[in-house]
């Protein structure tokens, strides 16, 4: 707009260009780091009405995944586990146990590299494809769900996911269980924010999650919020 209002003023042109570029840059950064924005890749952030989908990222963990599975089994709850390929290779028996217990599994990348957001299209595709191959080889199940590591997306995901026929799953409630140190406080915060229709992001790799999970499940039961796994 400023470019047209002040067409003959070079300073105004430069200023307006910088402003527009800055705004565009901020929007792009927001789109990269906020999966809910659906800026580059459309993700699913909600589940069916009246229910809560509990999801666990970054496993399987040699000790904590077993504990999480026991708690879910005790309460008759089904959840969804987004698994890292290299972890699944280390603990294939846990992948099989997750399936045997009736839970869903999804692709969470093979490497879970902190640099995954900078991978080329080719490298990203190879990484995700390798994870799918590992999980399908262990479970015998077709992998259709994917959660971007760190919730970071970019235009390369938009190219790769359709090629691999993977559906991106985001979340509507992030627990921050990987950085929380106070279990009662974490539980209270989640209880105040849980609403039917949400997808909750947890991790089966930190002890605090196993600590709060029974009370979290009980809280949902008392409020008649059914807990479900995500269906492809």
Where in the sequence numbering do the catalytic residues fall?
Answer: 57, 203
Q: Which of 176, 228, 179, 183 is nearest to 202 (CA)?
A: 176
146 phi, psi to nearest 5 deg: -145, 140
Residues 6+ apart with CB under 8 A from 126: none
Residues 6+ apart with CB under 8 A from 8: none
Q: Do 112 and 58 touch, CB atoms closer than 8 A?
A: yes
Record the tokens describing residue 162, joined without a space.
Answer: 């359709």
Q: Dump the DSSP string for 121-133.
A: HHHHHHHHHHHHH
């Amino acid at each position: 707009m400023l470019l047209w209002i002040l067409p003959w003023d070079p300073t105004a042109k430069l200023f307006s260009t910088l402003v527009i570029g800055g705004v565009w840059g901020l929007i792009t950064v927001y789109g990269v780091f906020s999966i809910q924005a659906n800026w580059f890749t459309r993700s699913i952030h909600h589940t069916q009405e009246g229910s809560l989908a509990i999801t666990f990222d970054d496993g399987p963990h040699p000790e904590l995944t077993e504990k999480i599975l026991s708690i879910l089994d005790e309460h008759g709850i089904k959840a969804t586990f987004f698994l890292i390929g290299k972890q699944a290779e280390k603990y294939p028996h846990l992948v099989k146990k997750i399936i045997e217990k009736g839970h869903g599994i999804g692709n969470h990348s093979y490497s879970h590299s902190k640099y995954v957001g900078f991978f080329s299209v080719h490298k990203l595709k190879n990484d995700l494809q390798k994870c799918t191959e590992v999980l399908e080889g262990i479970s015998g199940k077709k992998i259709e769900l994917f959660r971007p590591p760190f919730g970071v997306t970019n235009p390369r995901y938009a190219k790769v996911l359709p090629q691999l026929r993977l559906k991106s799953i985001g979340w509507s409630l992030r627990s921050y269980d990987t950085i929380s140190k106070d279990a009662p406080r974490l539980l209270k915060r989640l209880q105040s924010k849980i609403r039917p229709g949400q997808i909750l992001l947890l991790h089966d790799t930190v002890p605090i999650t196993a600590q709060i999970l029974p009370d979290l499940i009980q809280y949902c039961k008392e409020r008649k919020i059914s807990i479900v796994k995500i269906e492809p």
